[in-house]
Amino acid sequence: MYPRNALMSTGVTCGPRVRARSKTRNRPASMTHEIAIGPHRITSLKPGMPILTLAPMAGISNWPFRLICAKMGAQMVGVEFINCNAILHKNPKTLQMMNFCDADIYRDTGMSLLAAQIYGNDIGRMVEGALVLEEKGAQIMDINFGCSVPKILRSDSGAAFLKDIDRMMNAVRSVAEAVSIPVIIKTRLGWDHDNISILEVVKRAADSGAHAVAVHARTVAQKFNGTADWSWIARAVEVSPVPIFGNGDVFTYEDAVRMVEETGCAGVMIARAARDNPYIFSGARIPTFTERVRLARDHLGMMVEYKGEKVGVMEMRKFFASYFKGFPNASHLRTDLVQVDTVTQAHRILDEWVTDSDRHSHDA
């Protein structure tokens, strides 16, 4: 475990102070360009840009997508969240998720930090699972206290920990004391609007050994509905001695910039918007149609390498549906691509659309 005093001596910037009840805030004098998480330093892609990270997403943030986002500029990338029981039972699908074949790439190139997220309901097993993930190459250990999926809540995992903050802190402390890599947590504002606990959580998490906290600005009861209340991120920044990553309702690069400006958070953790457009990590520029096609081809190749043609192509369908939003007649392209079964079919359809795009000058 890295002592919190050592973390604070590295000069972590948690963002300017804000008024406790303010919904918005003036632009900070200078945006945070570098933070420390244990021995690791995370810097923004370039001056003037916020620190952007990829959130762990089940079925999305496997190694091909993590590598794509790292190359686009994500400063930290999250592995799909992993059940500690499945780790210890050596579930085949979980073992594949734990194959951090991209970890050495990140370390060798310095592109991005690799954070492995764990969840469970038994603290002892969470510790055991975390130790396995560390051995597999994780550089950051992320504990999930934010998943609001009914199945996870029924198992007393994920956001269910928000019903018992003492239990949550016991989990943080136990994992932090067991592993030699920094621990971060991802959580929500509280169980519902009558039980907002985020300020207590961020203060106690730091004292329990967490090196950063990612805050999804919704309650468990909201799930992904309604509007994320960024004002609570700002309040968390006020009281937290460790970096706060904001999450929730970030759909564009401009949203990420606005979140940092309004809350003073150290960085932004991006989920669904990254799935739709990994270029979000590169800044505000909108990728051309040809660039999207190139991205789809590269991603398809890595997915087939990772999972074989049958499964790889099938799992690429959701990315095909996302990558081509917003282009003329793209609905027809998406309809064609989400039905492909082979790599050859996918490339043939993309070839036809590139030819048609060139002919009609859609790539502008």
Rounded distance, CA 246 to CA 259, Å?
A: 7
> Quick one: CA torsion of 283, 288, 289, 293, rounded to 10 degrees?
-60
Q: Which residue type, as a one-letter code, is found at position 363?
A: D
Query: Which residues have C-beta within 8 Å of that of residue 120, sequence separation ≥ 6?
Result: 83, 84, 85, 126, 129, 157
Rounded distance, CA 364 to CA 115, Å?
A: 37
Beta bridge partners, 198, equal none
Write b or e for each residue in 147-175: b if 16 or more Cβ atoms lie within 10 A of its Cβ, otherwise e.
bbeeebbeeebbbbbbeebeebbebbbbb
E-strand ranges in 120-274 read 140-145, 183-188, 210-216, 244-247, 267-270
User: How would DSSP label each residue in 178-216?
Assistant: H-SS-EEEEEESBSSTT-B-HHHHHHHHHHHTEEEEEEE
> Which tokens go with 227?
């509007």
> How far is residue 188 from each of residues 19, 161, 182, 259, 324, measured CA to CA in Å?
21, 10, 20, 16, 31
**In this structure, are residues 149 and 157 in contact, taking their beta carbons and an 8 Å threshold?**
no
Rounded distance, CA 192 to CA 6, Å?
A: 35
Rounded distance, CA 118 to CA 175, Å?
A: 10
Rounded distance, CA 271 to CA 255, Å?
A: 13
> How far is residue 78 from each of residues 41, 47, 96, measured CA to CA in Å?
16, 23, 15
Beta bridge partners, 267, equal 245
14 is a catalytic site residue: no
Q: Which of 14, 84, 147, 265 is catalytic?
A: 147
Helix spans in 264-288 (H) = 272-276
Looking at the annotation, which residues are catalytic? Answer: 147
